[in-house]
Amino acid sequence: MLQWHSMYETGVQDIDIQHKRLFEMINGFDKSISDKSAEGMIDEFLTFLGEYIKTHFAFEEQCMAELICPVAEKNANAHQKFLVTYMNYYNRFKDEGYSEQLARELHKTAEAWLVKHICGIDVHLKFCVKKGAAA
């Protein structure tokens, strides 16, 4: 289960709020797989997750561009790659139908990606915000 920690903070409050919302969504998905309610709402979940990450990615990319963050391009590329991963899962659920195994695979992938991505790329925003504030 994902748990928020200060090491995930980016220094941009709106982005932290969005990341927390993503944590909740992913944890909620995990719970729904376990209590067997995920199958009935997989379409809604995938649609909502897809819309949410697209909006969040666009917002974060704009922030990085405005703050002239050195990892802005790396961030945008990583987002593009994850959108491809997401679409692959979306298509697999459409083609293969729901299975607990596929749902667990998606959950594990999303959870691992998000933590690695926030810690590896998004937290760089912290230094850009400080630099901008000092200027």
For position 75 contacting Fe ion by CB under 5 A, the verdict is: yes
Does residue 114 contact residue 23 with C-beta atoms inside 8 Å?
yes
Smallest gap from residue 122 Cβ to Fe ion (A): 4
Helices (H), the chain: 13-34, 42-66, 72-96, 100-120, 125-134
Between 111 and 122, name the residue whose CB sits nearer to Fe ion. Answer: 122
Residue type, 5: H
Residue given tokens 């139908």 in the structure block: 97
For position 18 contacting Fe ion by CB under 5 A, the verdict is: no
DSSP 11: S
Between 29 and 57, name the residue whose CB sits nearer to Fe ion. Answer: 57
Stretch that binds Fe ion, among 27-35, 72-80, 95-103, 108-116 (CB under 5 A): 72-80
Contact set with Fe ion (CB under 5 A)? 60, 75, 122
